[in-house]
Amino acid sequence: MTLPAAPARLRFGRALRAWYRGYHRDLPWRRTRDPYRVLVSELMLQQTQVSRVLLKYPEFLERFPTLESLARARPARVMEAWGGLGYYARARNLHRLARTVVQGGAPATLPDRPEALRSLPGIGAYTAGAVASFAFERRAALVDTNVARVLRRVFAPDLDPKTGPGRRRLWALATALLPRTGRATYVHNQALMELGALVCTARVRHCARCPVRGVCATYAAERP
């Protein structure tokens, strides 16, 4: 896959970020840069609907407001607080992570680089990029299901995201599209996810209201 030319990347990024500023949802985890709270939201949102996470997120943080409080908790209490979200391995990994970070008595802080974050229990490439970008405003790429769908439809309709080479190409594309600064990257990454959730959805492509249809290969191929 050939990466898009610089003018196309710039046009895509500017249109995407401008759209996000006007149309994004006001979600509680977007009002914080606290790494722990960002991490909790990202783990909860994996394979769980936003509407359900909106209910459980404040409840969980009320019980465990910090990494230290989570690390001190008994596993049964953590599982109880996670109740209703499913995929309990996420809660077990979060608990293990908290105990890993807190051990030794030093102030509990999450690392700010994707490479370091990936060394922690239950943190994969996407979650590491999300925490680095959303909590620390690092210039870090991320690719989840929504992002993969948007990037494939816009730039690489023939790419198979289920293969190893396809996934690697999507990550390379996501990296190539990053703005120059971490602050702009925060908006860019949030916008990619939001576009996939609200406009370029799995079931329906709402091309008429898509801000990046002007550079979208799928849209161009299907126009009369």
pLDDT for 102-118, tens place per residue? 986 656 789 999 999 99
Please give the model's pTM, rounded to 2 decimal places: 0.94
Which pLDDT score, from 0 to 100, does residue 224 have? 63
| Mean per-residue pLDDT of the chain | 95
Q: In whole angstroms, give the CA distance from residue 65 to residue 74.
A: 15
pLDDT for 63-116, tens place per residue? 999 999 999 999 999 999 999 999 999 999 999 999 999 986 656 789 999 999
By the 10 Å C-beta count (0-12 exposed, 13-18 middle, 19+ buried), 77 is classed as middle
- Angle between helix 182-198 and helix 145-155 axes, rounded to 10 deg: 90
- Of the listed ranges 7-11, 13-17, 59-63, the least confidently predicted one is 7-11
Please give the single-letter amino acid code of residue 176. A
Q: How confident is the model at residue 3 (pLDDT cuts 50, 70, 90)?
A: confident
Which pLDDT score, from 0 to 100, does residue 1 have? 62
Which pLDDT score, from 0 to 100, does residue 127 have? 98
By the 10 Å C-beta count (0-12 exposed, 13-18 middle, 19+ buried), 147 is classed as buried
Q: In whole angstroms, give the CA distance from residue 17 to residue 85.
A: 31
Q: How confident is the model at residue 11 (pLDDT cuts 50, 70, 90)?
A: very high
Is 42 an annotated catalytic residue? yes
Q: Which of 42, 59, 80, 194 is catalytic?
A: 42
Q: DSSP letter at 213? A: G
